[in-house]
Amino acid sequence: MSRNRASSSWPPAGRPPGRGFLAGLASALVTFTVIAALIAGAGLLAYYGGGPRAANGAQATTVILRKGAGIAEIAGELSSSHVIPNAPVFIALAEITGSAHRIKSGEYLVPSGASIALILSKLRNGDIVHHHVTIPEGASAKQVVEILDHADVLTGTTPEVEEGTILPETYDVTRGETRAAVVQRMTAAMDRQLSQFWARRQPNLPVHSPEEAVILASIVEKETARDSDRPRVAAVYINRLRLGMKLDADPTVIYGITGGLPLGHGIKASELAADTPYNTYLHAGLPPTAIANPGRQSIAAVLDPPHTNEIYFVADGTGGAAFASTLEEHERNVARWRAIEKDRSAAAASPAPAAGLRPSLGKVR
Mean pLDDT of residues grouped by 10 in the chain (365 residues)?
50 58 64 61 67 90 94 95 93 93 94 94 94 97 98 96 98 96 98 97 97 98 94 98 97 96 91 96 97 98 97 91 95 92 71 47 39
Long-range contacts of 263-267 (CB under 8 A, 24+ apart): 266/352, 267/358, 267/360
Write out the DSSP string of 161-192.
--TT-S---EEEE-TT-BHHHHHHHHHHHHHH
Omega of the bond prior to 159 within 30 degrees of 0, cis?
no
Residue-level pLDDT at 362: 44
Omega of the bond prior to 52 within 30 degrees of 0, cis?
no
Residue-level pLDDT at 47: 77
Residue-level pLDDT at 301: 98
- For 185, other C-beta atoms within 10 Å of its C-beta total 15
Superfamily of domain 55-125: Endolytic murein transglycosylase (3.30.1490.480)
Domain ranges (residues) in the chain? 55-125, 131-192, 204-346
Residue-level pLDDT at 351: 52
pTM: 0.79
Residue-level pLDDT at 6: 47
3-state secondary structure of 328: helix
3-state secondary structure of 360: coil
Give the C-alpha separation, 327 to 216, whole Å: 23
Residue-level pLDDT at 170: 98
Cα-only R_g, the chain: 37
Give the C-alpha separation, 261 to 29, whole Å: 81
Residue-level pLDDT at 25: 64
